[in-house]
Structure 1
Amino acid sequence: MKQTKIILLGGFLGAGKTTTMIKSAIHLESRGFKVALVTNDQSDELIDTQLAKDNGLNTEEITGGCFCCKFDELYEVLNNIISTKQPDIIITEAVGSCTDLAATVIQPLKQYYNAEFIISPLTIVLDPNRIINELNVEEGVNFSKTVNYIFEKQIAEADLIVLNKIDQFTKSKLEQVTTFLNERFPDTEVKIISAKHNLNIEDLANHWLKIDDGGHRILDIDYDIYAQGEAELAWLNILGDLEKNEGLINPQLWTDTFISKIDAHFQKEKMAIAHLKTYLGKGQSYVKTSLVQTGMIPETSIENFTESTDFRVVINIRCESNPNLLKLIVNDALAYTNKTLGTALTITYEQCFSPLPPKPVHRLATN
């Protein structure tokens, strides 16, 4: 039986896991490998899945919980992909608020399905800004201690730390962050990349290809603290159709207006954004914008920019908040944006909640 290489990406919300996954898959396919992707989230209507498909990649998704809590579904999805697509490599992206992946995902795959899969090193993708603000390299806006507990455990269980978005930082700042990581996690290799700009993606892919083992760092996890940290995060997803009766919609202007308004609310309420994503699409064109920290400048990706009388809209927000408050803030920002620009958004799907306590199907030590 042919074994399929599984690459598991973890890391906190907003680290750039999806971009890392997509750019790595494109690179590996350019070298002749057949690659498939599996996205994962607590809820439905994911921008991540849409972006992967927009890039022409074979993509499946698991929603409604992390891989660890939906392990049987994960195995079924992997099996289906293998039987229908026969990939050489499957890159999987775990929920950004999930940790304990070594014990609850990798070890069960290795111990129960060793004949079917080759497991690459557990790779945790990090945003340097999150390190700077959350691990006190510098003072900054911090999440609560329980949310930060998840973040620190993610890094601690990594076989490989991938420091992303290096294009946004000076050499001295990157040296400061990598020195901090090397001192804090001295036995873990650190690689630096910019997934957005394809910097060092080949080096990352080579590392995955040459190492066929991972997931040996089984941590002591306090599941009460873990559950509390997840419960302090609110998740909101909206799917809808944006229209304008007179004139054309500029998707960049609409996005900028909405994010500026909502970020002003978050700054006023001192709410920490984990990740805010918006996607406005029309045919083969889209504007995708991402804000990963309160008060920061958003990042935007544009494909075949066009103005139109209508767009499909997807909004994904994860932040430290009460879900009811988050919903009120989003509704206010949408009303302001639509009134200012003369648009109307018809929402066809909306969900706002805090995740349930994690209950993994398996939790195994190493062989």
Structure 2
Amino acid sequence: MGIPGTSPRFRLAAAQAPAPTRRRALGIAGAGLLAAGAGFASAPAASASAVSAEGRAEQGDRPPADGRIDTHHHALPRAMRDWAITMGLLPEEGGPDWARWSLCETLEVMEANHIAAGVASAPVPSIAFRDRAVAAEGVRVCNESLADLVADHPTRFGFFANVAMAHVDLSIEQAAYALDELGADGIIMMTTTEGRYLGDPEFAPLFEELNRRRAVVFVHPQGLPEGGTELPGVPDFIADYPLDTTRAALNLISSGTLDRCPDLSIILSHGGGFLPYAAGRAASAGRQGEGPDEAAVQRALRRFFYDTALPLSPYATPTLLAAADPARILYGTDWPARPAGEVGVITQDLDRDPALDRRTRRRISRDNALRLLPRLTARLGARTSEEREPGCAT
């Protein structure tokens, strides 16, 4: 796939390097800014598989037959990392383990967990794109580097493109370029921009355009906009991130954005946060005139897509299955925020989850994503199990 306006390997032009004052303005906490925005853990990654170095590249370009589709799958190609270092968002040396993302290790993790394809995304904190010039350059670097990854490995990756939500007119242009020219599978949106959640009226033109395009939107948390309360031994990604996703979902419901955009497909990270569990409370408040409309909450529960990167567990799965349409639950690992060894653990736990029968597990692992993401499906030449096995037993 050709990428207009860039070489197959996107180059950061030295002339475009920002002034030091701009780097300082964006580099709040330096590497911590990107780490906080992505919710990336810094635990060292365990060995993922025994794939040999000689066979890794060849095997890596052949997706496992009927393998999983990972919709919560992050990547940091070299051009993107170089840009983050130039901006002062990552240090040149050291930093969190995820910042040393490598394609070889990613393919090993995919092979070890029978993942046919990952839909790559880069959850850059919205503050990084506050300056318009930085937003124009940074979003282009992010999206074109991910498009290059897909061009090089078309049957192993798709991608969700970034947009600069702080500049709505620019974000509409960026979405159009990513979807029309770069072949993105959808758009990633962080839950908030300058303290405003996604249902804020300022973002309405972007949502209207994406609805017109029948686009997929992947909603990713970045922590509570007012800041979390530090608890000893409890990192913010354990509770604050799911709450951030829950807030974003409720805001999309209460603002009417979800109902005004009926053709938009919205994926909520981490199993929808606490939304499935707290939906009854929201509905009760609505009946009292103190919250979102009860009927709107019920519609939204069946309308949203949810990934399994909470991760799901015997505690969470029954609630999600009761609240959501099982055809809208998607496999997600949160790699490399979650290191290789843990990706294996949560994937095995999903396979053994007693709440999931064979058909539902198959739909979550693969079929639901194939129906949602037609470009990736076309590259894989894939069909769902139900297309091959009509009337298969549950």
**What TM-score does the superposition give when structure 1 sets the normalisation length?**
0.32
The one of the two structures with greater contact order (alpha-carbon pairs below 8 A, sep at least 6) is 1
TM-score w.r.t. the length of structure 2 is 0.30
Higher helix fraction (1 or 2): 2
